[in-house]
Structure 1
Amino acid sequence: MKILINALENNTTLTTLKLSNAGVDAEAAQHLANFLRNNMTITKLQLFNNEIGVKGAKHLADALRTNMTLTSIDLGLTKIGDEGAQHLADALRHNIGLTELYIQSNEIGDDGIQYLADALRYNMTLTTLGIFCNQFGEKGARYLADLLCYNETFKKIELRDNKIGSEGARHLANALRKNTTSTDGKTLYDVTNDSDLYIYLCGTKHYPSQIDNIKLKPEPRRRLPP
């Protein structure tokens, strides 16, 4: 990583850095974070499937406190867990550059989602949050629903393959109903792998506007509520 960083020090044209599946560990993440503190050109960073862990997440989060050039970062499958999510959440309280954050497949539970939701109440820059394939349930869904009632910046949240259940779906549906961000509203992708949310919305006669903003997998057959 040091060799790569040295090569990038004087580069003023590179805007996307792809380091997925590159064996980046916590030490390498520290070198990368030190480089990013002063970099003014890279806007997109891909670190999917590495061994970054909690320590590496902290190093990167510290860099995000001062780097306002990065707009997109993918930290999926990097073993950051709830504690790593907390470090990133703390950074997002100060960062005004990042618009896309993907932290999928990191075993993030309800606590990690709470850290993120609390921090993002005050972040008006992030528009896309990828938190699919994690471990949070109804409580995490409630934290996200509360966030959606306060934060009017989000355009897309990807939630598939978690454990939110029908109650979590209900909280999210209510938050969508209250949202007035834009004519398109917020989009929740793959909220649940069954039809809980769809059935809830039909039962409360919120078809079709809210359902059009929710992508279910598999997609149920649509019908108008009675």
Structure 2
Amino acid sequence: MPLGFIEATPQWVQEAFVVGTEAAAATEPRTPVWSRRGGWTNRRVATLAAAGLLSAGSLGLAACGSDDDAGAEGTTTTTEATGNGAGASSGAQPAEVDQTVAAVLSSVETNLNQAGPDGQVVYGWNHLVGDGTGSGTITDGDVVVDMLGNVDYVDGSGEFFGFITFDFGDAGTLAVRMDGSAQAATDTSDAALSADLEILGGTGDLVDASGTGRFEGGRPERLGGAVEGTYSFDLAD
């Protein structure tokens, strides 16, 4: 309690204040209070107004709490949560790599559009196909890759998502969804690409396949040019 309160207040008011505070403290439930020094603690909060004794406003006082109490009432704690929505890339590699595919894909068809005052928004889709080389539990041989990618870029960079079919020949195919991001020059060239992969299922020997994966690659040319990179998969047991 500030010293000025004691000096400027009549003795009978001080006594009533002490009695009322002790009575309220004895009956009020314990309430969690945050302190920068002590963290969360349970303390009894005295409600003087409910006791009908006095109020800070009637005495012309701005506050009569300690510095710790002021910090407890004026401090707001927030918890930051991180997560990945559609189109966001987590950047995490698979826990285990059961199969990799390295491939260079060329665009066979595109439908890209521009928007914005200077045409800085580019959106649409790009169909790419190519041959790759596999290494892992499915095959150590040739793999045909067919990708349909949808883009949402501003000044050359942004998010993309789409679907990829990996044809492993006699072993069957994998159906995969990708959600990723591109960092490129404003003309969409020299792009660094990365994406999280989710195995949706498959055909043939891979009909019950599931798991996750990661794509890391790039596109030296502008949007619509060849995409090169490696796809790594962690297949569920």
Q: Normalising TM by the smaller chain, what interval?
A: under 0.3
Instruction: Name which structure has the greater RCO, CA cutoff 8 Å, separation 6+.
Output: 2
Which entry has the higher C-alpha Rg, 1 or 2? 2
TM-score, scaled to structure 1 = 0.21
- Compare the two structures and name the one with the higher helix fraction: 1
